[in-house]
Structure 1
């Protein structure tokens, strides 16, 4: 079994080395696909240093968004299992083993790492982000008839064959409700595992905002009712 770690990146000069080395430190057979979405802060120069060995770097020629970076990353994986890893330090790669376990045991096709269904540590931050997240998850669940606790989580793990059957259309953060709607229609075994979460503030580099919440709302309706 080989794990493909897809890391979408945009202006993460301050964190990319640390998260990259944290991923490399995980004792698991893996490849790392770093997709830079046209960073302008010096991130690309760091990525040039990291390329080689089990690491592939793919560069966008213009900024398109997280969904577009993931679409590019998925097209470049060769592993049996694919996991999404954000380039910041909010999610801990040390939890890969438990995230892939249900797939390795033959129980799951897709695994979501939940920040809310958890006994792990979680940094206390924005109340209204939590409310928005839970509202979007609830609405998504109503449309998909799933009972997820964290639809918007970064940590989504797939058997590669699942991704081979999905065409990603959204370029930005609408990827999360889009992929959830599409896997819900595929008669897959979906599991959820509690994860730790060390969220960051906007001063620390957080990028998602209220406009992305409205976009997610539209995507929930679009991909559940009109696709």
Structure 2
């Protein structure tokens, strides 16, 4: 689906304004509940502001998955009053992907949104992600920093990596998603089960979700978002580790798509599928 096909009409822009002014959105006589899943790890300086900027709307369910934070992140959340926030805590750090999957397991909304806790995503843009899904224009929406205008400067290695992933995605599934590592995304929750068997519990989950969605024929599209420069701390993404994880992802989906398994003994393929994800999660 092209960006032009997802251009919001004036009536839809009015719906966005309704969200942002905390009014009720009613679409086709049904109220749509949105679960907002936010993975959290040591973001005590930013998490409160992120939550405060999410419209206090009765159709928004906020789920914070704390991945073993060692700072005051959880304490900052508990200081927030008059908000319906669910906090789920991992006993130890299990990884970004594991936090996202935990959020999925606990979400009850019709639409699931994921966003980062470091303040780089704008909660005010959540309606832009969910309205195409509500209007049945898409099943899976990715917020892209490459579309539209933005002053956010993407590191060269990130751009190169995402371009490689995008080319592979097009080659395998004829699906083009440039900002495939974006953590700001939304999808129809009726498809959540297709992500349940993803084994990557780290940052490779972002890529695997898009590949899974494409594999199952979901309508995946990008919309422009604005990114903010991180104000506190630094990114925890390790380039070398994520390259290993994504390379495995591309290999496995290529084998499935082009039926290359006929050239690989079933026993060997089974070992690869079982052992490699464990090694990736252990060493990344």
- Tell me the TM-score normalized by structure 1: 0.90
Residue 125 of structure 1 deviates from its aligned partner by 4.5
Corresponding position: 1:173 with 2:199:
no
Q: Is 1:37 aligned with 2:67? A: yes
Measured in 1, the distance between the counterparts of 2:149 and 2:58 equals 22
Where in structure 2 are the equivalents of 1:181-220 lying within 5 Å?
A: 181-200=211-230, 204-210=233-239, 211-220=241-250
Deviations 1:2-31 (A, max 9, x none): 1100000111111111111112x3657200
Distance 2:34 2:230 in 1: 27
Task: Provide the residue aligned with 1:146 in structure 2.
Answer: 175
Distance (whole Å) between structure 2 residues aligned to residue 162 and residue 69 of structure 1:
18
Match of 2:6 in 1: none
Report 1 or 2 for greater relative contact order, CA contacts < 8 Å, sequence distance ≥ 6.
Answer: 1
Residue in 2 that maps onto 1:64? 94
Correspondent of 2:163 among 131, 134, 141 = 134
Query: Counterparts of 1:139 and 1:165 in 2: how far apart (Å)?
Result: 21
RMSD: 2.1
Q: In structure 2, how many angstroms separate the alpha carbons of the residues matched to 1:77 and 1:10?
A: 19
Residue ranges of structure 2 left out of the alignment (5+ in a row): 1-31, 257-272, 274-284
Change (3 A) 1:21 1:223: farther
Gaps of 5+ in 1: none
Matched with 2:152 is 123
**Residue of 47, 51, 67 corresponding to 1:20:** 51
How much has 1:148 moved relative to structure 2? 1.3
For residues 82 and 66 of structure 2, the distance between their equivalents in structure 1, rounded to whole angstroms, comes to 15
* Aligned length in residues: 224
1:219, distance to aligned residue in structure 2 (A): 2.0
Q: Using the alignment, how far apart are the partners of 2:144 and 2:50 within structure 1?
A: 20
CA contact (8 A) 1:3 1:28 kept: no
C-alpha distance in structure 2 between counterparts of 1:208 and 1:100, whole Å: 27
Name whichever structure is richer in helix by fraction.
2
The alignment status of 1:54 with 2:54, answered yes or no, reads no
1:73 to 103, 108, 112: 103
Structure 1 position 156 matched with structure 2 position 185: yes
Q: Please state how far the C-alpha of 1:182 moved relative to its aligned partner.
A: 1.0
